[in-house]
């Protein structure tokens, strides 16, 4: 099975110059906890609900004035849509992340794949559990 067979295809993104409030509202609207961050056509980061909480709210920053680029994670782990699921598992374990931005052949974001997605596949749940265990093991 390929990553493209399992990924979430309805990809919501946010512009780097949007406010954190706009990002949080989008997350609430779509029931999601992460948004790939774009600067025009370029993927430049990932913003999670945890980023908003830890990097902005806890620091007393105003969500109406603070830009996404100020709270986002700059290093984005990506994978190829045509790669096998095992590559997604490997990347999640190696990079200690729970989700990957999926790119097409032109290096454009086309979806997300998460550890939860992997756990839904018969035969992959055990592997997903092993990855989760590795993510939760102190280094």
Q: Where are the domains of the chain?
A: 3-135
Res 137 pLDDT > 70: no
- 135 band by pLDDT with thresholds 50, 70 and 90: low
Q: In what order do the strands lie in the sheet with 34-39?
A: 14-15, 34-39, 42-48
- 45 band by pLDDT with thresholds 50, 70 and 90: very high
User: If DSSP codes are grouped into helix, strand and coil, which group holds residue 88?
Assistant: helix
* CATH of the domain spanning 3-135: 3.10.580.10
Residues 46-104 have pLDDT tens digits of 999 999 999 999 999 999 999 999 999 999 999 999 999 999 999 999 999 999 999 99
For the ranges 4-13, 42-51, 121-130, the lowest mean pLDDT is seen at: 121-130
Are 47 and 101 within 8 A, CB to CB? no
Start-to-end CA span in the chain (Å): 31
Q: Half-sphere exposure (CA, 13 Å, Cβ side) for 127?
A: 18
Averaged pLDDT score across all residues of the chain: 90
Closest by Cα among 53, 57, 48 to 98 = 48
The pLDDT value recorded for residue 125 is: 47
How many helices and strands, by DSSP H and E, does the chain display? 7, 6
The pLDDT value recorded for residue 7 is: 95
């Amino acid at each position: 099975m390929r990553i493209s067979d399992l990924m979430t295809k309805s990809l919501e993104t946010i512009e780097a110059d949007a406010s954190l409030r706009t990002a949080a509202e989008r997350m609430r609207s779509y029931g999601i906890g992460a948004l790939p961050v774009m600067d025009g056509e370029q993927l430049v980061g990932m913003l999670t609900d945890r980023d908003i909480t830890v990097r902005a709210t806890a620091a007393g920053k105003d969500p109406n004035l603070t830009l996404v680029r100020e709270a986002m994670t700059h290093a984005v782990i990506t994978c190829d849509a045509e790669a096998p699921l095992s590559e997604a598992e490997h990347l999640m374990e190696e990079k200690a992340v729970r989700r990957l931005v999926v790119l097409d052949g032109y290096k454009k974001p086309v979806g997300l794949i998460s550890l939860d997605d992997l756990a839904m596949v018969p035969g992959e749940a055990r592997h997903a559990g092993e990855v989760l265990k590795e993510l939760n093991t102190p280094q």
